[in-house]
Amino acid sequence: MVSQNVVVSDAKTGIITVSTVSNSSVFTPTAQKPPTAPGYISVSKKKLLKNLEINGADQSQRLNSWVDSMRASSPTHLKSLSSFSSEEEHNSWIKRHPSALNMFERIIEEARGKQIVMFLDYDGTLSPIVDDPDRAFMTSKMRRTVKKMAKCFPTSIVTGRCIDKVYSFVKLAELYYAGSHGMDIKGPTKGFSRYNKDKPSVLYQPAGDFLPMIDEVYKQLVEKTKSTPGAKVENNKFCLSVHFRCVDEKKWSELASKVRSVVKNYPTLKLSQGRKVFEIRPIIKWNKGKALEFLLESLGFENCNDVFPIYIGDDKTDEDAFKVYITNENCES
């Protein structure tokens, strides 16, 4: 697993946030009731085009801004001392990104007497970020570690990947899997049945109606990007990814225009950007944070004060999951 960092909030909330370098996940002692079945958000095509910055007189300027964002979308996990211009800069960076390992005893103390529930991202957390997403293999040592963890705590993989793909990497049947950014949830086929022994295996797909549209857009993106060397379109069942890690930087602007030219025709889909990847997802009231809440309820931990969820990830979608969970928790309290 990549180096982790921890930020401790005030004592009033009791919330601990954990992340890799610059992104946040969650340690929190209280689980709340998950939301009801997700509804759709009404979004006009005009508004969607504005959000995607694909229209208007300043299109060239906006495109340049988008490319700058693409360039910065895959920060390195580790910074060497030589990369800092001064000791003051180094100390400032350490203060903003403290090591979770240095605060391990504090984390253990916060979790004392509570049921720990683990939520793990996959890419960049359990496996390295690689040029070819089909080769993002986790090591045997990491697999053994996750297997041992699942024997001690309920453990879930929460990922943007489709479940079948991430399962082919992880190969552990005792885990919960929330694929497609939490829009495809399945429970384990073995282990930890004592937490939900009276309930059937978890199976929840809040974006099921979008499957035909996702398949249609996938085919269009494959056709549209085939002339861009290095571009790879991945069908994650309920969402799509367009990887540009292997695309020449000079072609990024062209690729961004191609992707947006397809997505703009589908006002119920949204386009966002991750670590050298474009993400296309349905606009529904559901994400990794909602999946976290749903899984906690499925495990029997709704409205429970003695549960300690731990969420570890490495990108903005994991940070958003933390924000959704904390926001809902504060609304319930």
**Quick check: is 121 catalytic?**
yes
**Torsion from C-alpha of 248, 250, 256, 261, nearest 10 degrees:** -110
- The candidate with the shortest Cα–Cα distance to 181, out of 292, 264, 259, is 292
- List the catalytic residue out of 10, 68, 121, 215: 121
Dump strand ranges (E) for the chain: 5-8, 16-19, 115-120, 155-158, 176-179, 184-186, 203-204, 232-235, 240-243, 269-274, 277-282, 307-312
Asked if 247 contacts 45 with a C-beta cutoff of 8 angstroms, the reply is no
Q: What are phi and psi of 79, to 5 degrees?
A: -120, 130
How many beta carbons lie within 10 A of that of residue 104, not counting itself?
A: 12
- The candidate with the shortest Cα–Cα distance to 283, out of 301, 304, 295, 269, is 269
Residues annotated as part of the active site:
121
